[in-house]
Amino acid sequence: MSGLIILDRDGVINQDSDAYIKSAEEFVLLPNTVQAIVALKRAGYTVAVATNQSGLARGLYDANTLHLMHHKLQTALAAQGQQIDWMMYSPHLHKTVCRKPNTGMYLSIAWRFGLSSLMNVPVVGDSWRDLEAAMAVGARPILVKTGKGLLTLSKHSAEIEQHQIPVVDDLLAAVRLLGVAV
């Protein structure tokens, strides 16, 4: 089993906050995150992260702080001999081509890995905008209940049912849904 998988960050990989994650200390991995990503990597997946980070434009943290957060994740994975293959973020506050629900980050990830299509590529997210962007590029959205997932489920249950979007407890459950041994 192999291929590309795209993960949202806040609420999927790490704890989310309505007040934004503004420091490496506030960047706290959700339970089973490392186990889930290690399982994906061992199964041959290329793991990319696509995350809106409007806190940059809001002046809540700077690019160096964002990189420290991502370094914290990469360090936890490196302890298991793995890493995220590519991390992409949109620093913008207002709608831009790269800010989800627009598809720019997903299309850039496809280009980065030489893919002409994201058809059926799993995209794991906790917000409706993650799922919208995934559907817009033909990817396979999966909703996790962590982060804002339960709120997304309650606000968009009809659309989630209509599009037959799988809903799982967390990233580890999404990995299992894909048939990856954990």
From the candidates 10, 16, 126, 130, which is the catalytic residue?
Answer: 10
- Residue 139 · residue 106 · CB < 8 Å: yes
From the candidates 8, 16, 126, 130, which is the catalytic residue?
Answer: 8
- Residue 45 · residue 2 · CB < 8 Å: yes
Q: Is 10 a catalytic residue?
A: yes
Q: Is 169 a catalytic residue?
A: no
CA torsion through residues 17, 20, 26, 31, sign: positive
C-alpha pair distances (Å), 123 with each of 79, 149, 175: 25, 14, 11
C-alpha pair distances (Å), 122 with each of 28, 29, 46, 94: 24, 21, 11, 26
- Residue 107 · residue 115 · CB < 8 Å: no
Cis link prior to 166 (omega < 30° from 0)? no
Round to whole Å and give the CA distance between 136 and 71: 30
Round to whole Å and give the CA distance between 33 and 46: 16
Which residues have a catalytic role annotated? 8, 10
